[in-house]
Amino acid sequence: MINKILLQSILNKYHLGVNQSVKWVINNNNLEIDFVSPTKDIIGKVLCSDFKLEDSEIAIYDTKKLSNLLSICQGDLLLELEKSHKIYTKLNISDASFNLTYALSDPLLMEKVGTVNVPQWVVEIPLEKENIANLIKAKSALGETDNMLFTTTQNLDNEDICEFVFGDEMGHNNKIIYQILGDIRETDLKIPFNSEMFKSILQVNKDMEEGKIYVSSMGLMKLEFKTDTIYSEYFMVRKAETSF
Residues 74 and 129 in one domain: no
Question: Taking the CB of residue 81, how many other CB atoms lie within 10 A of it?
Answer: 15
Residues 12 and 104 in one domain: yes
Residues 103 and 128 in one domain: no
Residues 169 and 93 in one domain: no
Tell me the backbone φ, ψ of residue 159, rounded to 5 degrees. Answer: -90, 140
d(CA 91, CA 83): 9
| Entry pTM | 0.93
Sheet holding 210-215, edge to edge: 56-60, 22-27, 30-36, 42-48, 230-237, 220-226, 210-215, 123-127, 183-184
Q: Are 192 and 239 in contact (CB under 8 A)?
A: yes
Q: Is residue 244 part of a domain?
A: no
Residues 14 and 97 in one domain: yes
Residues 11 and 85 in one domain: yes
Per-residue pLDDT of the chain (244 residues; tens, 9 = 90+): 899 999 999 999 999 999 999 999 999 999 999 999 999 999 999 999 999 999 999 999 999 999 999 999 999 999 999 999 889 999 999 999 999 999 999 888 888 898 899 999 999 999 999 999 999 999 999 878 889 999 999 888 888 999 999 987 665 678 999 999 999 999 899 999 999 999 999 999 999 999 999 999 999 999 999 999 999 999 999 988 655 4
Residues 161 and 228 in one domain: yes
**Distant-in-sequence, close-in-space partners of 218: CB < 8 Å, separation ≥ 6:** 119
Q: Are 95 and 4 in contact (CB under 8 A)?
A: yes
The domain that holds 179 is classified in CATH as 3.10.150.10
**Distant-in-sequence, close-in-space partners of 144: CB < 8 Å, separation ≥ 6:** none
Q: Is residue 135 part of a domain?
A: yes
Residues 76 and 129 in one domain: no
Q: Which domain holds residue 146?
A: 123-237
